[in-house]
Structure 1
């Protein structure tokens, strides 16, 4: 009982001391990430003069069968302009050891998305993330990607 209470207290202290994050949210996925399933985050009230770094946070388990991950992201500005990126992330070392932090079956990875960006329009920014993994020689994405448990977005204010 004391260990559980200590772990919860430590987690609260650790997260409350993080003054750089202005947004950090995870969305849980079902048993698999469908190729047509889009994870969406909406952010409002960002300082239009500040600079930020954006990260995609992922939690994967041992059922993830690949050493990399392809994602397609959209960042939609309040005026409707959209920036689309196709991103590839390394998820494991060549020996199969998972990258990221955590122990046991679940690993968490903090992946660079955008560096030193400025949200110079007031209003709501919408971030969309979907998986784009394909088998070797396949044109279509994997319909039901297993092993990715949670997808998150983290926005940090840069140190000026």
Structure 2
């Protein structure tokens, strides 16, 4: 059993290290813990993604990851997503992340009383400048702090080659 625990820990560390690599690996993913599982207005997670020159030839699908407890009191989360392209000022977009359907059933995958969601916020995004892109998430709900949110993260996946601003799968 002790050997199995060590293997699981080492595998987890390797996956965590790989998840923070530049996009040349086809996927970027990083998740951050929400302090005390209560997301306050003051906590604004930042994700920095390095795009290599060869990666500008692709389009990307961008997702927000959310992990919450079953006791989360709402069916969605509103976010302010601040995106800063290399050498430019941030652009802000208000985004709704649906977490439950009309009947209140959670949309994500669940284990025990914890649910995980991978919610698309932009399909076929163009990251046409090499450099560091900065994504900042700010919870934008009426309640502060927002209870029972455990983690939030960013996932970016290559979706195909870019030709005339369209993707080729």
**1:20: how far off?**
7.8
Conserved 8 A contact 2:108-2:117: yes
Which of 45, 53, 56 is the equivalent residue of 2:61? Answer: 53
Which of 5, 30, 34 is the aligned partner of 1:29? 34
RMSD: 2.5
The corresponding residue for 1:139 is none
TM-superposed CA distance for 1:62, in Å, is 1.8
Please, what TM-score do these two structures have when normalized by structure 2?
A: 0.76
Structure 2 unaligned spans of 5+: 19-23, 161-168
How far, CA to CA, are the matches of 1:94 and 1:157 in structure 2? 32
Q: Which residue of 2 aligns with 1:129?
A: 137
What whole-Å deviation, never above 9, does each CA across 1:62-98 have from its counterpart, x for those lacking one?
Answer: 2311011111101100112322110112211233221
Kept in 2: contact 1:58–1:108 (CA 8 A): yes
Counterpart selection for 1:102 from 88, 110, 119: 110
Please give the residue correspondences for 1:10-159 in structure 2 after superposition, counting only pairs within 5 Å. 21-31=26-36, 32-46=38-52, 47-134=55-142, 142-159=143-160
CA deviation profile, 1:14-61 (whole Å, cap 9, x unmatched): x79xx9852001000112000121010001134111111110001011
What is the Cα deviation at residue 119 of structure 1? 1.1
Q: Which has the higher contact order (CA 8 A, sep 6+)?
A: 1
Provide the rounded CA distance (Å) in 2 between the counterparts of 1:152 and 1:99. Answer: 17
Instruction: Give the 4+ runs in structure 1 shifted more than 2 A.
Output: 93-96
Q: Deviations over 1:106-151 (max 9, x none)?
A: 11101111111121111110000011111xxxxxxx2211111000
